[in-house]
């Protein structure tokens, strides 16, 4: 009997512990997502970065790396800390890690100029001159003309370009690639705008079709088809609007012809009936 009570006690105790763990986890998640918690982490990350800079200044490179890594673990978007890691790893001769961290900084912030300078210099020292030229060029493009580092980057780029025509080819290819990327981006934007216009014309056309304003509806469907000629639904509506427009014209001319005939104006009546033939499509020629 005692064993039964003990077993039930253990089960209840386990349930309470599980609920406590879940409750604590929920509290942590809520706290982590709150702005205050986020700001505190970012502040801590900046403090660790400052400690890293101080350690690096003292010559304690390993200590600096440790602080920088703590900084990015608290704030994975701290661009400057990745650049600092790159500098520290490069100092220790760990060039692959240096490259990775410089590239990470650029990935997070396309306009973080220090990483371009460091990466270009790294590639140049490694003998990867084409890549060096490419990143010196980017440093020049993104920097302000009066910035001393921009001027320095331009000087380094000129030296590399004067030494080999191949570098000019690499840079031109990169510019062409960027240009093509911008063109593709503009095309995608144009495509989205066209889709919006197609929808606008199509919806307006359907509304006019419903109101039996077939000629106006046909015009709207035509505008939509100019932007998207392969849309079968719009094409079907266009054909239906055209048929209804023709039917309407035939009825109107027939009524006018009958009216002319009833008042004795047979010439005008004949002309109206002849015009009906010009409106009705000849199926044999289609």
- Helices 165-210 + 214-227 axis angle, to 10: 160
Q: What is the DSSP letter of 283?
A: G
Q: Say if residues 139 and 153 touch (Cβ distance below 8 Å).
A: yes
pLDDT at 177: 56
SS3 218: helix
CATH topology agreement for domains 42-109 and 193-285:
yes
**How is the chain split into domains, by residue range?**
42-109, 193-285
pLDDT at 37: 41
- Helices 232-262 + 266-279 axis angle, to 10: 170
pLDDT at 168: 54
Q: What is the CATH number of domain 193-285?
A: 1.25.40
- The stretches in the chain having pLDDT less than 50 are 1-2, 5-6, 19, 21-38, 176, 179-180, 183-184, 284-286
25-53: burial string, b at 16+ Cβ within 10 Å, e else: eeeeeeeeeeeeeeeeeeeebbebbebbb
pLDDT at 18: 52
Per CATH, the architecture of 42-109 is what? Alpha Horseshoe (1.25)
Q: How far apart are CA 115 and CA 94, in angstroms?
A: 16
CA 233 from chain center: how many Å? Answer: 29
- Helices 95-108 + 113-126 axis angle, to 10: 150
- In this predicted model, what pLDDT tens digit does every residue of 61-102 receive, in sequence order? 999 999 999 999 999 899 999 999 999 999 999 999 999 999
pLDDT at 268: 81
Burial class (CB in 10 A: 0-12, 13-18, 19+), 147: middle
pLDDT at 240: 87
pLDDT at 58: 92
Q: Say if residues 200 and 193 touch (Cβ distance below 8 Å).
A: no
Q: How far apart are CA 172 and CA 91, in angstroms?
A: 32
pLDDT at 221: 86
Burial class (CB in 10 A: 0-12, 13-18, 19+), 127: exposed
CA 179 from chain center: how many Å? Answer: 16
């Amino acid at each position: 009997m005692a064993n039964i009570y003990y077993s039930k006690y253990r089960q209840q105790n386990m349930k309470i512990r599980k609920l406590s763990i879940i409750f604590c986890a929920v509290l942590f998640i809520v706290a982590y997502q709150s702005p205050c918690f986020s700001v505190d982490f970012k502040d801590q990350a900046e403090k660790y970065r400052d400690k890293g800079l101080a350690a690096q200044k003292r010559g304690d490179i390993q200590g600096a790396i440790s602080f920088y890594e703590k900084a990015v673990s608290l704030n994975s978007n701290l661009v400057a800390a990745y650049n600092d890691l790159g500098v520290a790893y490069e100092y220790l001769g760990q060039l692959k890690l240096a490259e990775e961290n410089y590239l990470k900084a650029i990935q997070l912030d396309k306009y973080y100029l220090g990483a371009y300078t460091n990466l270009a210099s790294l590639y140049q020292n490694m003998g990867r001159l084409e890549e060096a030229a490419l990143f010196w060029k980017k440093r020049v493009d993104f920097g302000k003309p009066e910035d001393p580092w921009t001027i320095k980057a331009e000087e380094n780029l000129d030296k590399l370009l004067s030494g080999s025509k191949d570098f000019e080819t690499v840079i031109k290819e990169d510019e062409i690639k960027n240009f093509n990327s911008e063109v593709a981006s503009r095309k995608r934007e144009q495509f989205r705008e066209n889709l919006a216009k197609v929808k606008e014309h199509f919806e307006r056309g359907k509304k006019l079709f419903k109101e039996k304003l077939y000629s106006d509806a046909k015009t709207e469907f035509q505008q939509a088809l100019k932007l998207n000629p392969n849309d079968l639904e719009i094409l079907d509506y266009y054909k239906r609007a055209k048929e209804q427009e023709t039917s309407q014209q035939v009825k109107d001319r027939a009524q006018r012809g009958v009216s002319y005939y009833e008042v004795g104006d047979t010439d005008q009546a004949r002309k109206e009936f002849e015009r009906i033939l010009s409106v009705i499509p000849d199926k044999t020629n289609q």
